[in-house]
Amino acid sequence: MNSEEMIQKIQELKQVKEDLLAQIRKTIVGQDEVIDKVLIGLFANGHMLIEGVPGLAKTLLISTIAKALNLTFGRIQFTPDLMPSDITGSDILVTSRDSERREFQYIKGPIFANLILADEINRTPPKTQAALLQAMQEYQVSSGNTTRPLDLPFIVMATQNPIEQEGTYPLPEAQLDRFMLYINIDYPSYEEELTIVQNTTGVPQEEPLPLLSAEKILQYQAAIRTMPVSQHILEYAVKLARSTRPGTPESRPEITKWINWGAGPRASQYLVLAAKARAALNGRLTPAEEDIRAVASPVLTHRVLVSFAAEAEGIKPSDIIKQLLS
């Protein structure tokens, strides 16, 4: 993609965002900050980890966005007995109608969609989580001796319930690191909840109209990738990620004493990519320092492992990120 095409696509994106928000708000009330972060992740081509208590419309939000983007949507409910083949698909022995020969036929699993909702991902064993990790990392799945590519764009939006930890399998750091953004969904305000009750207990609401296509989204993602970034913005992103690592020159001892393990190099990459997407969605041709700061918390929070002392003091990773930005 040349610079003229990139500029044209970026200039289109601001209006595309407004049109998408108008469609999403037909169904979703409030959650403006959450929707903004999800759109950043989608156009930056990054997977997202969404955390919130049950009943906050996480599934509805993701399916509504899939409809507005005109993408295929797949939901996988993760349970302790879920097997890798339940996600990727499997070979089934069938009898041919013509020759009555018996042969294996591959039946695709729910992973073969553009937008995947991995519901309660921490309720399934590591073996099944690993099958999803391969798809997230390589954009392909393996079944038997065959590897099959996934449809693009391919984005996983996984959910976790923060209040029920019994019978769960915490995600390994390798898989957590594959998620570009961590998004926390909170309770709606009084006015928002009142509107939700009015909308859902009366006449059915209007469905969102499909505005884009997979091909269009891939073009916008490519334009965001080719956006220029100034050297001082790259340096700021790298220094911010390195400041979470104890013992580095960029770290602050009064803060890193609360950290056991900091964010890796992928955090620096995702800070820049997410900042590019945020700038593009706001109609700007290059990211600024404010974009890095705006995406710092969702990019870094799940990559910082706090110490026992921090847990005892009630200090969370999000608190540490706020201090690093101050």
Q: pLDDT, tens digit, for every residue of 121-158?
A: 888 888 888 888 888 888 988 877 788 899 899 999 99
Q: pLDDT, tens digit, for every residue of 238-287?
A: 999 999 988 888 888 888 788 888 888 999 999 999 999 999 999 899 99
**Which ranges of the chain does DSSP label H, i.e. alpha helix?**
3-24, 32-43, 58-69, 84-88, 126-138, 173-176, 190-200, 214-225, 231-242, 253-256, 265-281, 289-300, 308-313, 317-325
Q: Compute the average pLDDT of residues 218-230.
A: 93
Q: Is 257 helix (H, G, I), strand (E, B) or coil?
A: coil
**What pLDDT score was predicted for residue 165?**
60
The 3 state secondary structure assigned to 138-204 is HCEEEECCEEEECCCCCEEEEEECCCCCCCCCCCCHHHHCCEEEEEECCCCCHHHHHHHHHHHCCCC
**What pLDDT score was predicted for residue 188?**
86
**What pLDDT score was predicted for residue 258?**
87
If one compares 56 and 180, the residue with the highest pLDDT of the two is: 180
| Start and end residues for every CATH 3.40.50.300 domain found in the chain | 1-82+111-213
The pLDDT-based confidence of 166 (bands split at 50, 70, 90) is low
How many of the other CB atoms lie within 10 Å of CB of 196? 15
Q: Residue 149, exposed/middle/buried by CB under 10 A (0-12, 13-18, 19+)?
A: exposed
pLDDT exceeds 90 at position 31 = no
| Start and end residues for every CATH 1.10.8.80 domain found in the chain | 227-326
Average pLDDT, the chain: 87
**What pLDDT score was predicted for residue 183?**
93
**What pLDDT score was predicted for residue 167?**
62
Percent of the chain residues topping a pLDDT of 90:
31
If one compares 37 and 107, the residue with the highest pLDDT of the two is: 37
With a CB cutoff of 8 Å and minimum separation 6, the contacts of 58 are 50, 52, 117, 119, 159, 185
pLDDT exceeds 80 at position 172 = no
Residues in the chain: 326
The pLDDT-based confidence of 209 (bands split at 50, 70, 90) is confident
**What pLDDT score was predicted for residue 47?**
94
CATH number of the 227-326 domain? 1.10.8.80
Q: Compute the average pLDDT of residues 55-60.
A: 80
pLDDT exceeds 80 at position 79 = yes
Distances (CA, A) of 8 to 2, 11, 19: 10, 5, 17
**What pLDDT score was predicted for residue 267?**
94
Q: Is 77 helix (H, G, I), strand (E, B) or coil?
A: strand
Q: Which CATH class name applies to 1-82+111-213?
A: alpha beta
pLDDT exceeds 70 at position 93 = yes
Q: Which residues pair with 261 in a beta bridge?
A: 305
**What pLDDT score was predicted for residue 26?**
85
pLDDT exceeds 70 at position 163 = no
The pLDDT-based confidence of 288 (bands split at 50, 70, 90) is very high
